[in-house]
Structure 1
Amino acid sequence: MKMSAAALLLALGSTAFAAPVEVKIGFAGPLTGPQAHYGKDFQNGVQLAVEEVNASKPTIGGKEVKFVLLAEDDQADPRSGTVVAQRLVDDNIAGMLGHFNSGTTIPASKIYARAGIPQIAMATAPAYTEQGFKTTFRMMTSDTQQGSVVGSYAVGKLGFKKIAVIDDRTAYGQGLANEFEKAAKAAGATIVAREFTTDKSVDFRAILTKLKAQAPQAIFYGGSEVQAAPMARQIKELGISATLISGEMVKSDNFIKLAGDAAEGVIASLAGLPIEQMPGGAAYVAKYEKRFGAKVETYSPYAYDGAMAMFMAMKKADSVDPAKYLPALAATQLQGVTTSRLGYDAKGDLKEGGITVYKVVKGKWEAMESIGGK
């Protein structure tokens, strides 16, 4: 007696041939506009993790699952960020990887928290994890960690005693500048001026002319490369001898390209170790370049580790239900690309908070010193 194909499938059991269950994961960052290269770097790290995990054909809750990334452009804008967040929640995501900017992450985090959806963000502003939510986690060290380390380093190691501080009034820029200022003061420096601009400004001559009269040895800027590059050029044009110092959004090849000769001597900090010294750095660079045909920038290794932490938590909890895997995420102990001991404290901040200080020397970023972290 012959058996039809349909009958054969039924006899063997349909579950043996069932398609993987799709699990939606949210992603958001600036994918257009002046910060798009940050967002793409961020997205690539997440995408690489998704593809690697899917290739392993993971089984969770007795079923093969396939992670599907729902990517949204939040345009680095707080209003767009909340719209995107609500859309992703309505799409029934099981977890959120993003946002990028602190200014978009913080208002969006309230939406994810209300929905009980774990969120691992690139945002570094202290306020993100100080809201009391159980759902907020970081991919990078906070500004409290970074700003305090750089402030102490600028005074204690570099010898700057008279420092001016400028920030762009974003949650990121202001938060980083505040922490830098506190640490620099505590180390014995005098803050000769505190000035403010915006993340849209490109002309800083009025501010810098006023600062020139104070004769600062260093100017700390809390903000991105888009403003830091013209600021560096105008510092040089005005004959100000102060060294420009900033955070990780300035530590990019694009800053050097935009600032030209004025980039020389600029100092910037970045979370963690230089990629060639990261525990999984060499292997990550090889697979990243093979997959995307581009060099690793700043953020993708941290994005990759954050995504892997979420996927491993789901695997450990044997569930993609946010309420069920959230405790496993909070208890993460992962050997990642960026650190051999990735884990979170009670607020969701990274336990390991190392910082590396870089300087532009002959047109390239060179590591000066790595402080803390493993």
Structure 2
Amino acid sequence: MRRGIRLGARRWRHSDLIQRTFVHTSSRLKFFATVTMTLQASRDFWERKCRPIQRKGSKAMRYLKGFAGLVVILAAVLALAWPAADASAQAAKEVAIGFSGPLSGVAAEYGQDCANGVEMAIKEINAAGGITVGGEKYLFKLVKLDDRVDPTEAVNNARKLLDQYKAPAVFNPVFNTLAAMARINQEKGHELLLMAYTSTPKVIEMGNNLLVAIPPPFTVYVKSFSDLAWKKGWRKAAMVVTLGSYGDEWRQAFKAYWQAKGGQITEDKPANYYTETDFSSQLTAALATKPDVLLIGGPSGTTALVIEQARGLGYKGGFILIDQAKMDYIANILKGTQLMGNSIGVASVAMSPTASAPAFDKKYVSEYKRMQTWEVALNYD
């Protein structure tokens, strides 16, 4: 018999699990709902791992890690919504969790990785018995809808997930579509929690009370990647980065930091990494300025195409990859790292200095028959 429950990357003893009581009082009703939160193991873990950043008067935490944090929030909501009942006589109720993202087109692999991370977490929660709130047991299911990185389609998906599937929360991994959804998710009577997988700082600056940001802001990468490039002696940089708010912010932040160091931006030619497959015009213009390094990136699949096409045009310099583009994924597409020489970017999950990383990698690859990425890991976490 198992002595504990596997929570995320490690196994916790039952005695370590948090159990909190929520009290709801009204003129006619007073009840206690006990919530067993099977995804956070101690108050210290909560403060260290999730690092909630709250704005006065906000209804949702600004920073909270992935599906684990979402379940805690949902547990609290459910605890205040239903009175205590005898769970032994009732079957588990099912709660839909929504996903709207690119599941077709050139960015489909990126969207599928994000969805797989959420799905894997849901499977583990359900296998462990789900959560019990107010004496009732709840399980989860994932409903995935393709929005093709179209803001209008994303908004339609959000409304469908809320109205048809009664989903209290929706995951989305692209800022352009998140921004559109954020304009409607606080409508009175149609509130919807957005789980935002985007590293742009603007997702927090929007001030949306029902939005949770999953990854850290990309500004930490701008500084570290630029400093590494500077140590290599690179001084002239050209940019061929994905279009859209996220890409625009990355380019602006990199340009400001690079120029502050004394570097030069020789060309800026953004491209749509979500719809284009031929980047020869942008690359030709950028390479004509003789840069030491190219700042590139968007979804990993199309970033691999950019690297391949740049080398095909005779470019022998370095690459700085924005955080959305993952080096291990690109190396897998390119059948090795030969074309990626002198590249700076995000390390693979398997290279993460944690004891659980190899086991997580093995489990995901075994179950999904594809390599795991940070999109998987952070949406799962």
User: Same fold by TM-score, threshold 0.5 exceeded?
Assistant: yes
Cα deviation, 1:85-129, whole Å, max 9, x if unaligned, reads 111122321222x21122222211222233433222212222222
- Kindly report which structure 2 residues correspond to 1:298-337, keeping only aligned pairs within 5 A, or say none: 298-305=374-381
1:20 aligns with 2:92: yes
| Alignment-derived partner of residue 189 in structure 1 | 263
- Paired residues, number: 291
2:223 alignment counterpart: 148
The structure-2 alpha-carbon separation of the partners of 1:244 and 1:275, relative to structure 1 and needing over 3 Å to count, comes to closer
Could you tell me the TM-score, scaled by structure 2's length?
Answer: 0.68
Is 1:168 the counterpart of 2:168? The answer is no
Unaligned segments of structure 1, at least 5 residues:
1-12, 306-374
Partner of 1:216: 291
Contact 1:147 1:177 in 2 (8 A): no
Residues 327 and 347 of structure 2 are in contact (CA less than 8 Å); yes or no, is this contact kept in structure 1? no
Going from structure 1 to structure 2, the CA distance change for 1:14 and 1:39 (only over 3 Å counts) comes to same
Do structure 1's residue 55 and structure 2's residue 130 form an aligned pair? no
For 1:8, the equivalent position in structure 2 comes to: none
| CA separation of 1:46 and 1:234: change in aligned 2, threshold 3 A | closer
Task: Report the secondary structure of 1:112's partner residue.
Answer: coil
Compute the displacement of 1:68 (Å). Answer: 2.2
One-letter code aligned to 1:41: D
- In the superposition, the TM-score normalised over structure 1's length comes to 0.69
Q: C-alpha separation between the residues in 2 aligned to 1:285 and 1:255?
A: 17
How much has 1:154 moved relative to structure 2?
2.0
- Show the counterpart of 1:270: 346
Q: Does 1:73 align with 2:133?
A: no
Relative to structure 1, the CA distance from residue 183 to residue 267 in structure 2 (aligned partners, 3 Å threshold; closer, same or farther) is same
1:222, distance to aligned residue in structure 2 (A): 3.8
Structure 1 counterpart of 2:186, from 113, 122, 140: 113
Instruction: Give the whole-Å Cα distance in 2 for the aligned partners of 1:202 and 1:55.
Output: 41
Structure 1 residue 161, shift from structure 2 partner: 0.9
- Deviation (angstroms), 1:217: 0.5
Check conservation: 1:230, 1:258, Cα contact below 8 A.
Answer: no
**Matches of 2:133 and 2:346, distance apart in 1:** 36
From the superposition, tell whether residues 204 and 74 of structure 1 become closer, same or farther in structure 2 (CA, over 3 Å).
Answer: closer
2:167 counterpart SS class: coil
Deviation of 1:279 after TM superposition, in Å, equals: 5.4
* Equivalent residue, structure 1, for 2:82: none
Q: Tell me which of 30, 34, 53 is aligned to 2:106.
A: 34
**Amino acid aligned to 2:224:** V
Does residue 104 in structure 1 map to residue 180 in structure 2? no
Distance 2:347 2:182 in 1: 22
Cα 1:242–1:95 change in 2 (3 A) is same
- Residues 225 and 188 (structure 1), Cα distance of their counterparts in 2 relative to 1, 3 Å cut: same
Give me the identity figure in percent.
Answer: 25
The letter of the residue matching 2:144 is A
2: CA distance, partners of 1:191 / 1:79: 35
Q: Which amino acid aligns with 2:113?
A: D
Measured against aligned partners, the alpha-carbon deviations of 1:45-93 in whole angstroms (never above 9, x if no partner) come to: 1111112112222211221111122222222222221111111122321
Give the distance between the partners of 2:263 and 2:350, measured in 1 at CA.
28
The alpha carbon displacement at 1:171 in A equals 2.3
Question: Does structure 2 conserve the Cα–Cα contact (< 8 Å) formed by 1:54 and 1:66?
Answer: yes
List per-residue Cα deviations over 1:1-20 (Å, max 9, x = no partner). xxxxxxxxxxxx98523111
Residue 30 of structure 1 and its aligned partner are, at CA, apart by 1.7
Q: Structure 1: how far apart are the matches of 2:348 and 2:260? A: 23
- Tell me the residue number matched to 2:330: 255
Aligned partner of residue 346 in structure 2, secondary structure: strand
Closer/same/farther in 2, CA of residues 278 and 138 from structure 1, 3 Å limit = farther
Deviations 1:188-224 (A, max 9, x none): 2111222233333334434333333422111112423
Could you tell me which amino acid in structure 1 is paired with residue 120 of structure 2? L
Counterpart residue number, 2:36: none
- The aligned amino acid for 1:209 is T
Range moving further from structure 2, 72-81 or 286-295: 286-295
Indicate how the Cα distance of structure 1 residues 270 and 110 shifts in structure 2: closer, same or farther if over 3 A, else same.
farther
Contact 2:198 2:213 (C-alpha < 8 Å) held by counterparts: yes
8 A Cα contact 1:165 1:221, kept in partner: yes
Is the contact between residue 241 and residue 296 of structure 2 (CA under 8 Å) also seen in structure 1?
Answer: yes
Amino acid corresponding to residue 100 of structure 1 in structure 2: P
Question: Does the Cα contact within 8 Å between 1:151 and 1:181 map onto a contact in 2?
Answer: no
1:335-374 superposed matches below 5 A = none
**2:159 counterpart of 1:86:** yes
SS of the residue 2:183 aligns to? helix
Correspondence for 1:295 among 361, 368, 371: 371
Secondary structure at 1:201 match in 2: coil
- The corresponding residue for 2:5 is none
CA pair 178-27 structure 1, distance change in 2 beyond 3 A: same
What is the CA distance between 1:254 and its match in structure 2? 5.2
Relative to structure 1, is the Cα distance of residues 225 and 65 closer, same or farther in structure 2, using a 3 angstrom cutoff? closer
CA distance in 1 between counterparts of 2:351 and 2:191 reads 34
Contact 1:255 1:263 (8 Å CA) reproduced: no
On the 8 A contact 2:328/2:348 being kept in 1, the answer is: no
Q: Aligned pair in 2 of structure 1 residues 127, 62: CA closer, same or farther (>3 Å)?
A: same
Cα deviations by residue, 1:285-325 (Å, 9 ceiling, x for unpaired): 233234334432331110111xxxxxxxxxxxxxxxxxxxx
Asked if 1:233 is matched to 2:308, the reply is: yes
Inter-partner Cα distance in structure 1 for 2:373 and 2:288: 37
Paired position in structure 1 for 2:360:
284
Mapped pair 1:243 → 2:243: no
